[in-house]
Amino acid sequence: MQIKLVKTILALQPLFPIPVYFSVLTGHPPLLMSLIIAVMPMGIDYWYTRHIITRTPFDLPILIFLFGSLIGLIVAPDKGVATGALCSTIASILVYYGITNNRNTSTKYWLWTAGILCFITLSLSLWFLSQSERRVLFFNQWAFNLFSRFPKTVGPVLNLHTIAGLLSVVIPALFIFAFYKTKLRIRIIAFTFCLLFIGILFLSDSGTGWLAAFFSLAFILVCWRRWLLFVFIPAVGLLTTGAVIFYDKIFWLQTTISTFSLMARTELWRNTIILLKGKAAILGLGQGAWFYVYGSRYGNTLDGNILAHVHNSYLQLYCDAGILGLIAMILAAIIFTRLSINLLKVSGTNSINWIGIGLIGSIIAGAVFAIFDVNHTITYVTETGYIYLALPLLWIGAALISVMSVKRSVQPTKFLWFLSKNW
C-alpha cells in the first residue's frame, strides 16, 4: 500500500508545482508552503530510488539559466516581483523534471498526460473567449457573443496572443496523433481537439499565432512528404504577394497583420538593446525588471496601451537572466537542434517516431512565436500592482523531447551529452 502511494505521488509529480503559480498570481496559498509542496515529490523520490532527478540532455543549460535567474533576482529593483518570477521559474523547472523523472512509465501514462494538457488548453481557451480582450471582426464576433453571457471573473485574463501562443504549440502534437498510425479511438479524440483548437486559434485573430502554427504544420507535412517543400515555398510567396497587394483594401488583414504593431515592436527591441549596455550587458536588467527600467527611460505606454513586456522572448530572457541566460538559451538551442536531427534520422513509419516529429513541430511553433511576442512568461499590470509569472509551456515541450530522445536512444553530441551527464 505504501509503495503504491509513493508511485502515485511520483506519477503526479509534474502537477505538484502548480500551487506556486497560484501563489505568485493571487497570493494564495502562501509562497513558502507552495514551494514545499512543489519539492515534496523530489524528497520522496530520493527516499524511494536514491536519486532526486533523472539526468537529461538539457541539464547543463538549465543549471546555467538558474544561476542567471538568481543573479537577476539580486540586480532587480523590485525584489517582490523578482521573487515571484524566480519562484515560478523554479516551479517550471520542477515541472520539467517531474515529466522526465517518469520517462520509463507506460504508454497509458503519457496518454493521460496528453489528455490533461488538452483539458487545460481547452479550459484556458474557453476562459479566453468568455473573459479576455476582444478583437472583434466579422469572422469571430459570433463566438465572443456566444460566450458573452458567462460570468466575469476578477483578476488577470489571457489576451489573444497568449492563448494563440499556447494553441500554436499544442496543435502540432495533436496533428500527429490525429493523422498518423495509432489506435482509432485516440485518433478520433486527437482529431476533434485539433480541429477545435485550430478553430479557436483562427477566432483569436492573432497573426503571430497563425504564423507559428503554419510553420510548424508545414514542417510536419514536409517530413511526411519532402516534395511538399516545393509546394509551400511558392504558396508562401503567392500569399505574401497577395497580402501586400490587397493590404490597404482588407480591413481585417490590416488588423491581424498590423504594420504599425510591427514597427512599434521594432522600436521596443531597438530601445531595449540600448538599455542592455554596461553592467546590464552582463547581468541583464533583473528578473521582471524590464517594465520598470524601460518605463523610466522611454515610458510604458504606446498609443494608449500599456507596454508590459518587450514582445520578444529572446530579448526578455536576456533582460531577466543576463549573459548567463543567453548562453543557456544558445546551448539549449544547439542541443535541441542535434536531438531533432538525430530524431529525424531514426524516424520511419513507427507512430512513436512521428510523435517525436510532432514535438519538434511544437517547439518550432514556440520558437517562431517567440520572435514577435513573449511565451515563456506572462505579465499582469494593474493600477495597484505588477505581476511577472514564468510559464511552463516550453519547459513541458523540452521535457517531452528529452523523454522521446532517451526512448529512441538519441543523443545530442558526445561532448554535450558528457557535459549534461557530469555537471
- What are the start-end ranges of the H helices in 180-258? 184-204, 207-224, 229-246, 251-256
pTM, two decimals, is: 0.91
212-216: long-range contacts at Cβ-Cβ below 8 A with a sequence spacing of 24 or more? 212/164, 212/165, 212/168, 212/169, 212/365, 212/366, 212/368, 212/369, 213/167, 213/168, 213/171, 213/172, 213/365, 215/364, 215/365, 215/368, 216/168, 216/171, 216/172, 216/361, 216/362, 216/364, 216/365, 216/368
DSSP reduced 3-state for 76: coil
pLDDT at 131 over 60: yes
Cβ count within 10 A of residue 347: 17
Least confident of 224-238, 282-296, 340-354: 340-354
DSSP reduced 3-state for 378: strand
For 269, what's the count of Cα atoms within 13 Å in the CB-facing half-sphere? 16
C-alpha cell at 238: 503567392
Per-domain residue ranges for the chain?
A: 53-421
pLDDT score of 415 = 40
pLDDT score of 349 = 53
The DSSP symbol for 227 reads: G
CA dihedral sign of residues 383, 81, 261, 194? negative
61 near 265, Cβ under 8 Å?
Answer: no
- Report how far residue 177's alpha carbon sits from residue 185's, in angstroms, rounded to the nearest whole number: 11
Arithmetic mean of pLDDT, 392-396: 91
Residue that wins the pLDDT comparison between 380 and 21: 21
pLDDT at 251 over 60: yes
Print burial letters for 103-142: b (CB count within 10 Å at least 16), e (below 16): beeeeeebeebbeebbeebeebbebbbbbbebbeeeebee
pLDDT score of 334 = 94
Q: Which H or E run contains 16?
A: none
The DSSP symbol for 151 reads: P
pLDDT score of 243 = 83
pLDDT at 311 over 60: yes
Task: pLDDT band for 133, please (50, 70, 90 cuts).
Answer: low
C-alpha angle 364/370/373, rounded to 5°? 145
Chain segment 143-179, per-residue pLDDT in tens: 888 887 777 776 667 788 889 999 999 999 999 888 8
Backbone angles phi, psi at 65, to 5 degrees: -65, -35
pLDDT score of 380 = 82
pLDDT score of 12 = 93
Backbone angles phi, psi at 301, to 5 degrees: -130, 145
Nearest to 197 by CA among 71, 397, 43, 365: 365
- Report how far residue 323's alpha carbon sits from residue 310's, in angstroms, rounded to the nearest whole number: 17
pLDDT score of 134 = 65
Q: What is the mean pLDDT of the chain?
A: 87
Task: pLDDT band for 136, please (50, 70, 90 cuts).
Answer: confident
Chain segment 171-228, per-residue pLDDT in tens: 999 998 888 766 788 889 999 999 999 999 999 999 999 999 999 999 999 988 889 8
Task: pLDDT band for 249, please (50, 70, 90 cuts).
Answer: confident
pLDDT score of 422 = 39
In total, the chain counts a number of residues equal to 423
Task: pLDDT band for 420, please (50, 70, 90 cuts).
Answer: very low
171 near 216, Cβ under 8 Å?
Answer: yes
End-to-end Cα, the chain, rounded Å: 37
Hunting for cell 540586480 — which residue is that? 75
Residue that wins the pLDDT comparison between 348 and 333: 333
pLDDT at 423 over 70: no
281 near 323, Cβ under 8 Å?
Answer: yes
- Report how far residue 309's alpha carbon sits from residue 288's, in angstroms, rounded to the nearest whole number: 9
pLDDT score of 347 = 52
